[in-house]
Chain A
Amino acid sequence: MGEVIVITSGKGGVGKTTTVANIGTGLAMMGKKTVVVDTDIGLRNLDVVLGLENRIVYNLVDVINGSCRLRQALIKDRRHQELYLLPSAQTKDKSAVSPEQMIKLTDELRDDFDYVLLDCPAGIEQGFKNAIAGADKALVVTTPEVSAIRDADRIIGLLEANDLRDIHLIINRLRPDMIARGEMMSVDDVIEILAVNLIGTIPDDEQIVISTNQGEPLSGRKSPAEEEYRNICQRLTGQEIPFMDISPKKGMFRRLSRIFKK
């Protein structure tokens, strides 16, 4: 029996899809049979981030409507043995699916996969309700900005109200230089405000943009953000991995030492 994990944030543009792509790839690289599901109906995105946009035949709505079998809609990533994508529909809208149908789908996927990762749409409407319906665990993605934090708090409240209490936080796009200057909230600040479990701290990293351009998550070998995505995967499988040090002073030192290593 696999685990169903929803990746959500409330606010758009904080890195949900990138997180799903990277964690999905990372888990597959660890030998875990993983499926990533794009639940953002009408705004399909996960396929391009994974570089699988040209291989879509059927989608999530086709599966739910019974137009095809689940196996027909799953796209196998040729670069990673254990990675599969269930793409979203581009032509339908969010009302095409109900929470009950999503629970049925995730239960079916759970039987075949070790991990089922659901990429949740932004917002708190129907799409969000669908995405969280069948999940066992939630990863909330935020950035150290007031707008993202406020939305994350709202999302955490809604998850708890829906009895989804296994909630973990990923803080994305951290900039150690700005934190050192006191012009960006630190990891500790965000944790103090949101009072939730931390599972990952991702530094702002241009390699993520490059990997996304190439449609190949986790392709950069020495990228700090990708390294931390791999750490998150290990934490998800129950390993205790210490958090990357992005505390101001040491963070600066690490950055410098990294430059010298290169």
Chain B
Amino acid sequence: MKIILQRKDRSADYAKSRMKLLLVSERINCSPQMMTMLKNDLIHTVKKYITVDETQVHIHITQNPAVLHADIPVRSKKEQKTK
């Protein structure tokens, strides 16, 4: 039963998210691989100065006007101690 419910992921949603990702990268001539590399470089650069939560970093580009957004969660001193 669970499998049937999970199978309900709709192909239209999947197609839409694929197209949005693809077209954004095609418009600026930047492939998904390059986006991943950019993300890794960003993490690397920021890490030199502050501690960040690497697993929660997200980057994306919005259209009209095209803007690169990077969400890089910063770890506070407290969190670092508990870790």
Contacts and interface: CB of A to CB of B under 8 A. Distances in A.
A193 B63 CA distance: 10
B77 interface: no
Contacts of B63: 195
Interface in A24-58: none
Interface string B54-73: 00000000011000000000
B5 interface: no
Interface residues of B, number: 15
Contact of B15 (A157, A185, A195): A185
A153 B26 CA distance: 9
A154 to B, nearest CB: 7
A192 B13 CA distance: 12
A145 B16 CA distance: 10
Contacts of B19: 146, 149-150, 193
Contacts, number: 40
Contacts of A153: 23, 26-27
Interface in A171-196: 179, 181-186, 189, 192-195
B12 to A, nearest CB: 5
Interface residues of A, number: 19
A223 B64 CA distance: 37
A192 B16 CA distance: 9
B22 A182 contact: no
Given A150-B23, A153-B27, A193-B23, A181 B10 contact: yes
Interface string B1-31: 0000000001111011011101100110000
Interface of B: 10-13, 15-16, 18-20, 22-23, 26-27, 63-64
Given A146-B19, A192-B20, 11 more contacts: A149-B23, A150-B23, A153-B23, A153-B27, A157-B27, A182-B11, A182-B13, A185-B12, A185-B15, A186-B12, A189-B12
